[in-house]
Amino acid sequence: MAADDVKPNEQIHPGRPVIVDRYTVGARINHWITAASLILLALSGLAMFHPSLFFLSGLFGGGQFTRFIHPWIGVVLFFSFLGLFLRFWKANLWQRDDGTWLARFRDVLANHEDNAPEVGKYNAGQKLVFWSMSVLIVILISSGLVAWDQYFFQYTTIDQKRLAILIHSIAAVVIIGVWIVHFYSAIWVRGTISAMTRGRVTGGWAWRHHRKWLRELVTRSRKETGPSGSKPAE
């Protein structure tokens, strides 16, 4: 259509934005079970951590039930995160460009992401969160089992339990900090939370924040469908 053909009161509307599939339904459910478990563990753990925080036990029906339910939530967290680990560990393997991305993190914060290397499905910061969570959850479940007297009292000594509780507490504080960083980053990068709630992102979002991943999706889609076919990106 030529420009002269447009009537004065007629508006030209752009086409619908390109939508890219980022997470499956299963992955999203897996993620939110993990997130909910971590929050419940933090609240119940803090209730037992210091007398000034004991009021949090009211969220779980009192101190006795809090002490009972806390390790079981930990078991749910472990197996739920194991599901996430099996899904995403390959996408979180460290690449040479990740070190360069970290070195140019100030440019990323200043919204100059073009100065940083193109990012795959996850950037270096997300990978650090993933591997930190992986290590910390293993430490938490291991130390938690040692201190779980209801089932494992006879297998460990008092000194081992004391050491396990100390390690458990330190790891818990660290993982809460990692979770705060993860949550803040998800809010800071607009579109990240909706990607995990709806499973989709716009092509513009993918091009800006995860350009290498988008290129890989397009290349894979062309190979699978041919030049005239159509298929969801993931």
Catalytic residue among 31, 70, 168, 182: 182
CB atoms within 10 A of CB 79: 12
201 within 8 A of 191, measured Cβ to Cβ: yes
If DSSP codes are grouped into helix, strand and coil, which group holds residue 63? Answer: helix
Active site residue 182: yes
First-to-last alpha carbon distance for the chain, in angstroms, is 34
Question: Counting Cβ atoms within 10 Å, is residue 206 exposed (0-12), middle (13-18) or buried (19+)?
Answer: buried
17 within 8 A of 23, measured Cβ to Cβ: no
Extract the tokens encoding 201. 């992102």
By annotation, the residues acting in catalysis are 182
